[in-house]
C-alpha cells in the first residue's frame, strides 16, 4: 500500500521540498515513463555524456581563494591565519561549513544509499571520491540491453585502481573500446594542464569483451584520424588480467611490439606485490600524509627533515634544495648529482613528537622512497632512491621496507631494477599522474638472491650511487660489515659514493 505524501507532517514535506530544490533530485522512471515504464524498452538506446571530473573532498585553498587570492600561495602557517581571519566573518564561516557538509553528505549518500554499487574493494577503492565514476555507472545502468553508452572521462577509467569494479562490469557485461588522449601543448583543451590525460569510451550493453579495441597517447587531430581509420590495437582481456589481476588496469600499449615486450617481461618475473617463497616481502607506508600536516611543519631544524617529492630523483635523495617562498610560490634550486657541497635542504622540519606512531618505527631506518607524482610526460616516470635515517617522508613519497628486519641488500637490488628503462617502459603505460601502490605492485620485478653472481655487482654500484653524503655512511658500513663487498669508512667521513 502506497503512502499518500499529503499525510506526511508539514515539516517533513518542507524538508523534502527544500532538498529537492537544493539537489535537483530526478526520478528517472517518472521523468521518462516512455523509457522505463512497464512494458517499455527498459532503458535508453544511447547515453552520451561529459561528466564532471571533480572529487568530493573539501579544498580549503580553492574555497577561501574566492575571498582572498593570497591563500593559494601562502606558507601553511600564514594560510591558516588568513583562513582563521576570513572565518571571523559569520557569512564566510557558514558557507564553508555548508560546503563541507554538502560534500560529505553527498559522498555518504553515494556510498551508502545502494544506488551505486560499482566500488572497487579494499585498498583499490581508497583515495579521492571521483564523481565521474558515478556518471559512468549511471550510463551503463540506464542504457537498455543492446543500448550504448559513451562518455569523455579521465584516464582513471582504464588505469585507475578505484575504477576496477567499473572495468569488471565493462569486461563481463558489455563490449567496449576506448581512445586515450593526452593534452600535449594544450591541443585538446588550451586551459587544462598539458600533462592531463583523458579517454573517450564507447560500450554496448550485453555480452562480454574478449579484447578491448583501443588507441592511446593521441596527441593531435592527425593521430585521432589514424585511430578512427583503424589504427587501433586489440588488447586481449586475458592479457589485462595477467598484467593487472587485482585492478584490471588497461596498459597504454602503442604497438604490437610493446605488447610482445611486456608479455615477455611478465612471463619471466613475478609481480612486485606477489608473495614469493624464500624472499622478503615489501612493506609500504605513507609516513606523513596530508592529514598529519596541520600545525606540524616547522622551520626549526631540530626536527626531522620533511621530504617532499621534489627532493627525490633516481638514486638521489638531495635532488633539489629549498630557497624561498611557500606553497605554489616556493622556489627550489636543482642540485645536480655531482654538485659540490650538496646536502639535504628541505622546506620544512617535523618535531619527532608530531610523527605518527606507525612512522616512528621506520624514520630511523634506511628505506626506499619513490616519488609518486609520475606523469608519463616527465623524462622518467618512476624515480626511487634510498632515504637516510632521521627524516620523515611526506605524502608524495611512499616508503618501502623489506621484511620486518630491514634488508639493505634487498632494497639496493630493488633500486637496481626499479630505476631501469625497462621498468619505466611499463610504468609509463600504466600511469596518469600518480605512481599508485597498486601500479608498483603490478610490475614484474626480479627477486635477486645474494647468491646470484650479478647481485654483488648490482648492489655495489647502487650503493655507490646512493651513498654520496655523510648521512649515508652508516648504510655503506652496514653493507661492508654484512657482505664485505666494500671497505668500511670512518663514521664521521663521507662514503666514497659514485
- Is the separation of the CB atoms in 398 and 284 below 8 Å? yes
Distances (CA, A) of 285 to 356, 372, 404: 11, 12, 13
Q: What pLDDT shows up at residue 150?
A: 98
Query: Angle at the Cα of 342 (from 494 to 385), degrees rounded to 5?
Result: 75
User: How many whole angstroms separate alpha carbon 170 and alpha carbon 160?
Assistant: 14
CA pseudo-torsion sign 110, 111, 114, 119: positive
pLDDT tens string, the chain, 498 residues long: the values are 456 777 788 888 888 888 888 888 888 888 888 888 766 678 999 999 999 998 888 888 889 999 988 888 887 778 888 999 999 999 999 999 999 998 888 889 888 989 899 999 887 777 778 899 999 999 999 999 999 999 999 999 998 888 999 999 999 999 999 999 999 889 999 988 888 899 999 999 999 999 999 999 999 999 999 999 999 999 999 999 988 888 899 989 988 899 999 999 999 999 999 999 988 899 999 998 876 676 789 999 999 999 999 999 999 999 999 999 887 788 999 999 888 889 999 999 999 999 999 899 899 999 999 998 876 667 889 999 999 999 999 989 999 999 876 779 999 999 999 999 999 999 988 876 788 888 899 899 998 887 888 888 999 999 999 999 999 999 999 999 888 888 898 887 778 775
Which H helix or E strand runs over 146?
Answer: strand 143-154
Strands annotated E in 295-444:
304-307, 320-324, 331-334, 349-350, 367-370, 384-387, 392-393, 399-402
Helices (H), strands (E): how many in the chain?
Answer: 19, 15
Which H helix or E strand runs over 145?
Answer: strand 143-154
Which residue in this structure is represented by grid cell 627524516? Answer: 391
Distances (CA, A) of 89 to 56, 58, 60, 64: 25, 19, 16, 12
- Is the separation of the CB atoms in 384 and 412 below 8 Å? no
Beta-bridge mates of residue 278: none
C-alpha cell at 66: 574566492
What's the helix, strand, coil split of the chain in %, to 5?
40, 20, 40
SS3 24: coil
Q: What pLDDT shows up at residue 460?
A: 92
User: How many whole angstroms separate alpha carbon 179 and alpha carbon 199?
Assistant: 6
Query: Angle at the Cα of 247 (from 243 to 252), degrees rounded to 5?
Result: 55
Q: What pLDDT shows up at residue 432?
A: 67
List Cβ neighbours of 187 (8 Å cut-off, separation of 6 or more): 219, 220, 221
Strand order in the sheet with 44-49: 44-49, 143-154, 197-205, 174-182, 211-218, 233-236
Distance, CA of 342 to chain centre: 30
Half-sphere exposure of 255 (CA within 13 A, CB side): 4
Q: What pLDDT shows up at residue 78?
A: 84
Q: Please give the torsion angle defined by the CA atoms of residues 483, 486, 489 and 494, in that order, rounded to the nearest 10 degrees.
A: -110
C-alpha cell at 371: 616519488
CATH of 41-51+128-268, one of 3.40.50.150, 3.40.50.10860, 3.20.20.140, 3.30.830.10: 3.40.50.150
Q: What pLDDT shows up at residue 70?
A: 86
Give the domain ranges of the chain: 41-51+128-268, 57-117, 282-483
Q: Maximum CA pair distance of the chain?
A: 87
Q: Please give the torsion angle defined by the CA atoms of residues 68, 70, 73 and 78, in that order, rounded to the nearest 10 degrees.
A: -90
Tell me 88's DSSP state.
T
Q: What pLDDT shows up at residue 473?
A: 94
Whole-structure pTM over 0.85, yes or no? Answer: no
Which H helix or E strand runs over 458?
Answer: helix 453-466
Amino acid at each position: 500500500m502506497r503512502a499518500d505524501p499529503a499525510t506526511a507532517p508539514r515539516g517533513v514535506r518542507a524538508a523534502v521540498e527544500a532538498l529537492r530544490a537544493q539537489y535537483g533530485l530526478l526520478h528517472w522512471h517518472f521523468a521518462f515513463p516512455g523509457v522505463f515504464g512497464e512494458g517499455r524498452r527498459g532503458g535508453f538506446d544511447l547515453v552520451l555524456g561529459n561528466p564532471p571530473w571533480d572529487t568530493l573532498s573539501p579544498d580549503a585553498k580553492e574555497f577561501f581563494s574566492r575571498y582572498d587570492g593570497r591563500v593559494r600561495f601562502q606558507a601553511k602557517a600564514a594560510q591558516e591565519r588568513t583562513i582563521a581571519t576570513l572565518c571571523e566573518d559569520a557569512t564566510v564561516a557558514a558557507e564553508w561549513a555548508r560546503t563541507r557538509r554538502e560534500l560529505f553528505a553527498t559522498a555518504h549518500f553515494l556510498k551508502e544509499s545502494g544506488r551505486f554499487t560499482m566500488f572497487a574493494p579494499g585498498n583499490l577503492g581508497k583515495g579521492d571520491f571521483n564523481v565521474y565514476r558515478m556518471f559512468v555507472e549511471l550510463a551503463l545502468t540506464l542504457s537498455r540491453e543492446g543500448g550504448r553508452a559513451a562518455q569523455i572521462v579521465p584516464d582513471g577509467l582504464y588505469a585507475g585502481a578505484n575504477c576496477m569494479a567499473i572495468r569488471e562490469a565493462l569486461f563481463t557485461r558489455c563490449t567496449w573500446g576506448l581512445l586515450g588522449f593526452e593534452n600535449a601543448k594544450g591541443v585538446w583543451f588550451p586551459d587544462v594542464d598539458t600533462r592531463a590525460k583523458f579517454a573517450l569510451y564507447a560500450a554496448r550493453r550485453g555480452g562480454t569483451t574478449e579484447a578491448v579495441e583501443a588507441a592511446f597517447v593521441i596527441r593531435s587531430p592527425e593521430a585521432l584520424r589514424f585511430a578512427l581509420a583503424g589504427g587501433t590495437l586489440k588488447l586481449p582481456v586475458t592479457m589485462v588480467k595477467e598484467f593487472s589481476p587485482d585492478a584490471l588496469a588497461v596498459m597504454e600499449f602503442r604497438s604490437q611490439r610493446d605488447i610482445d615486450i611486456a608479455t615477455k617481461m611478465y612471463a619471466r618475473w613475478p609481480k612486485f606485490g606477489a608473495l614469493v617463497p624464500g624472499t622478503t616481502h615489501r612493506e609500504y607506508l605513507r609516513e606523513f600524509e596530508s592529514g598529519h600536516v596541520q600545525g606540524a611543519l616547522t622551520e626549526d631544524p631540530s626536527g626531522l627533515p620533511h621530504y617532499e617529492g621534489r627532493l627525490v630523483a633516481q638514486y638521489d635523495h638531495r635532488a633539489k634544495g629549498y630557497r624561498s617562498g611557500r606553497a605554489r610560490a616556493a622556489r627550489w634550486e636543482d642540485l645536480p648529482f655531482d654538485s659540490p657541497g650538496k646536502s639535504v635542504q628541505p622546506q620544512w622540519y617535523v618535531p619527532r613528537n608530531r610523527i605518527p606512531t606507525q612512522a616512528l618505527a621506520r624514520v630511523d631506518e634506511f628505506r626506499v622512497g619513490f616519488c609518486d607524482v609520475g606523469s608519463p610526460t616527465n623524462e622518467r616516470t618512476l624515480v626511487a632512491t634510498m632515504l637516510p635515517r632521521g627524516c620523515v617522508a611526506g605524502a608524495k613519497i611512499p616508503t618501502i621496507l623489506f621484511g620486518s628486519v630491514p634488508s639493505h641488500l634487498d632494497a639496493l637490488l630493488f633500486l637496481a631494477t626499479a630505476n631501469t628503462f625497462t621498468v619505466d617502459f611499463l610504468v609509463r603505460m600504466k600511469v596518469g599522474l600518480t605512481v599508485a601502490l597498486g601500479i608498483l605492485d603490478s610490475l614484474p620485478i626480479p627477486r635477486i638472491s645474494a647468491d646470484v653472481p650479478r647481485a654483488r655487482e648490482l648492489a655495489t654500484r647502487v650503493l655507490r650511487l646512493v651513498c654520496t653524503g655523510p648521512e649515508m655512511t652508516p648504510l655503506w658500513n652496514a653493507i661492508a660489515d654484512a657482505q664485505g663487498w666494500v671497505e668500511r669508512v670512518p663514521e664521521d667521513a663521507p662514503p666514497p659514493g659514485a
